[in-house]
Amino acid sequence: MENHKINVRYKTIVLTILLVVMIPHVTVLANTENTPKSNGIPFYIVATIIGGVIIITLTYVSWKKYRAERKNKKENDNS
């Protein structure tokens, strides 16, 4: 169980680092000058990437929890 907590913490740290790296690209969009050419990543791409990482992480953690509960239930039934 403790190993699972370490994995979740590791994934949370990685997700946080990804978010911190992507934030400067989003701030480029806050520029109020009307320029025909933008040098930043469009907001919808950043939002899609961040949302996808969050969904994948939550799905993975839920699957691991389901498998662990199923394994514990089988062990308790065999005892």
Rounded to the nearest 5 degrees, what angle is found at the Cα of 16, between the Cα atoms of 61 and 40?
125
pTM given for the model: 0.50
The pLDDT mean for the chain works out to 78
- Give yes or no for residue 29 having a pLDDT over 60: no
pLDDT digits (tens, 9 = 90+) for 31-65: 556 656 667 888 899 999 999 999 999 999 999 99
- Give yes or no for residue 10 having a pLDDT over 70: yes
What are the sequence ranges of the domains in the chain? 2-72
Record the tokens describing residue 47, joined without a space.
């939002």
